[in-house]
Structure formats: structure tokens, C-alpha cells
Amino acid sequence: MDIKTVGVVGCGLMGSGIVELIAKHGYTVIVREINDDFLAKGLARVQGSLARAVEKNKLSAADRDATLARIKGTTQMADLANVDLAIEAAIENLDLKKSIFKDLDAITRPDVILASNTSSLAVTEMAGVTKRAPQVIGMHFFNPVPVMPLLELVRTFLTSDATLETVRAFGAGLGKKIVVAKDAPGFIVNALLVPYLLDAVRMYENGFATKEDIDTGIQLGLNHPMGPLTLLDFVGLDTTLFIADAVFADIKDARWSAPALLRRMVAAGYNGRKSGKGFYDYGK
């Protein structure tokens, strides 16, 4: 399939990174948000990221301008009618994602592949609301999208070989290393990561060690770039709680049961770096 124009639904933290990455690689990108305010914030995030790349001499000013010229923002789903590939990048809410897939199925050409950037939710359920289940696949990018080298493709039992190979080639063309997972809770990365993060919260909650010693122990003892509580602040405590609750509701595995401390921190607005406070204070 010849992909020239890509539609992205959602211009939040992940969506804006996907938009930037794809536009950098020469594709026209149409990004849709639910209102003008969210759209403006998302596009400003793209502009800021590109500006920092120019400042660090990782991107020329001419390439920055060309990238921005390839991006069109909209609040109308109908503007994605003529895209060659559509990627949903909304929040981790299955009902919302299914609604988006239903809309995309109605407005795009029958041959267009529909992909979800979900990090944990059932891609098969999204495919089930469409009339093109063989052309539905998961494309799980990692934050920050322009920097992280991995793209996790999620194949349902209905996804066709042609769809998988088309998306594999597209992802490789974006400079990503591809791994393929079946549509099981958490896929590869989060199936291993999230229970580990929840265990770290439980360890801290139970007074096993200080947060600093937990992070330092893992960082230096296992040669990780950051400890689990620092990583939780980076990923977002709310995002992690969304994923844990969604998987626990699906499979009822105690490893995915969110600790009370995590739930209370999210309720208090302690979501990590993006809110200024999480396990650590980022106010300064």
C-alpha cells in the first residue's frame, strides 16, 4: 500500500510525538483533536520539540519548516476521509477508542489500515466495531516518540499478513526497531513493566526502603537508566493506573492490582512530571 498521508486522532503527549515523527519523515499528517484548545496545545508541543532539535543542531531550520508545513490540524473527523493510514492516539479508554474506530471505519476508504497506539487495551475489541478487522493493528509507540527507538506492533488473530507487513515496513521507514506481540494484556513491554512498577510502589508503601534507595538500588544494581519510582513519574502515575486497572478488569491477576498509595496519589493530582509532583517534586 502506498502511504502518503497519515491521519492521527489525538494530539496529546503521545499523539503530538507521533505527528512530529511521521511529518519529519516526509509524510503529510492530518491530526484531529476534540477542540481548538487541545489542538493548539498539541501543535505547540510539536513546534517546541522541533525548536529544541534545531537549537541542539539535530535538525536544520529548513527541515523544521518543511516538517511543520506537512502538518494540518483539525477538529473535524471528516477531514481524515482521504488518509492512507489512520492512527488513533487517544487516552487509554476502550469505549472512547472503539468510538473513534467506528468513526474512522465509516469515513476512510475500505482499504485503509486503522491502527491504535494503545499500550495495553484489546485491539481485537477495537477491530470488532469495524467492517475491516483484517486491517486493524496496534502500533504502540513509546514516549518520547521521536527519540525512543522501539515500535511494538500488536497483531490480533484477525489481522492479515498484508496489514502486518505494510505497517512493519512503514515503522521501519520511520527508523524504528520493530517487535511483534499478540493481542494479550500488556503486550510485551507493559506485561513485564507494569507489574514491576506496581511492586515498587508496594515496596515503598510498606516501608521496605526509602524511595531514593529503591530507585538507586535498581539503577545501579541492575544498570537501569532510572529507578522504578522515577520511571513512574516519567510515564505518569495516572497513565500507569489506567493500564493496571484495565488489565486487572480483563484478567483479574493480582499482579495488576493497583496499590492504594498509587490510587490515592492520582486522586490527589500527583501524576508525576507532567503535574509537577509525583514520588518526587518537580516544581522547580
Give the tens place of pLDDT for each residue, 155-191: 999 999 999 999 999 999 999 999 999 999 899 999 9
SS3 115: strand
CATH 3.40.50.720: which residues of the chain? Answer: 5-182
Catalytic: 88? no
Instruction: Output the pLDDT for position 284.
Output: 65
Catalytic: 224? no
Question: Among candidates 137, 209, 143, 213, which has minimal Cα distance to 180?
Answer: 137
For 75, 183, 244, the CA distances from 135, given in Å and listed in that order, are 25, 14, 27
Instruction: Output the pLDDT for position 92.
Output: 86
pLDDT in tens, 111-134: 999 999 999 899 999 999 999 999
Catalytic: 82? no
**In angstroms, rounded to a whole number, what is the distance separating the alpha carbons of residues 19 and 28?**
9
Instruction: Output the pLDDT for position 250.
Output: 87
Which one of 16, 49, 117, 119 is the catalytic residue?
119
Q: What CATH topology corresponds to 193-275?
A: N-(1-d-carboxylethyl)-l-norvaline Dehydrogenase; domain 2 (1.10.1040)
Q: Report the predicted TM-score, pTM, of the whole model to 2 decimal places.
A: 0.91
Strands 177-182 and 150-155: parallel
Which one of 116, 152, 271, 275 is the catalytic residue?
152
Residue 88 has pLDDT above 90, yes or no: yes
SS3 281: strand
Which one of 20, 120, 140, 275 is the catalytic residue?
140
CATH code of the region 5-182:
3.40.50.720
pLDDT in tens, 219-245: 999 999 999 999 999 999 998 998 999
**In angstroms, rounded to a whole number, what is the distance separating the alpha carbons of residues 205 and 113?**
44
CATH 1.10.1040.10: which residues of the chain? Answer: 193-275
**In angstroms, rounded to a whole number, what is the distance separating the alpha carbons of residues 79 and 12?**
19
Mean pLDDT throughout 56-63? Answer: 96
Question: Among candidates 9, 5, 11, 22, which has minimal Cα distance to 146?
Answer: 22
Catalytic: 25? no
pLDDT band at 281 (very low <50, low <70, confident <90, very high): very high
Which one of 49, 190, 271, 275 is the catalytic residue?
190
Report the percent of the chain where pLDDT is more than 70. 99
